[in-house]
Amino acid sequence: MRTALVKPLNSLNIKSMQYTAYFLLALSCGILHTVRVEFQLEKTSEFNEWFDDQTDKIKGLIWARFSRIEAAAHFGVVNSVGDGVFELKWKIGLRVYFAYLDRKRIVVLFGGTKHGQKADIKKAKSLLG
């Protein structure tokens, strides 16, 4: 007996259904191609100063995420905080704020934690200014 690989419809969210539909359509039409998107990250001096004060563990988490963004456009958990600023989020409460300069360039503005989020967002927005 084979186990079904398809999830019940009520367990899928709309986005995953849309992506699955696009994938299946492209596959059935024979037009599926691999698209490689690379991003270049530029960091502000304010981010670099904040980063230098972090522990090696935190630095490793951030650099790992940056590497995935640059190499494979994999951002992980991201939220918009308004005015063109976005935050990368980690479960441990870590936040890194960034903005798109253009389609392939990103400026990393500032970092912080969940506890200082309001002030950190304000600072990030002012740096984008």
Tens of pLDDT along 79-88?
999 999 999 9
pLDDT in tens, 35-53: 556 789 999 999 999 999 9
Model pTM greater than 0.75?
no
Cα–Cα distance, 85 to 95 (Å, whole number): 12
| Chain mean pLDDT for the chain | 81
Cα–Cα distance, 75 to 67 (Å, whole number): 10
Q: Residue 32 corresponds to which amino acid? A: L
- Domains of the chain and any CATH numbers: 40-128 (3.30.2310.20)
- Alpha helices, DSSP H, located in 1-129: 14-29, 45-52, 56-72, 117-128
Q: Residue 96 burial by CB count (10 A; 0-12/13-18/19+): exposed, middle or buried? A: buried
Half-sphere exposure of 80 (CA within 13 A, CB side): 4
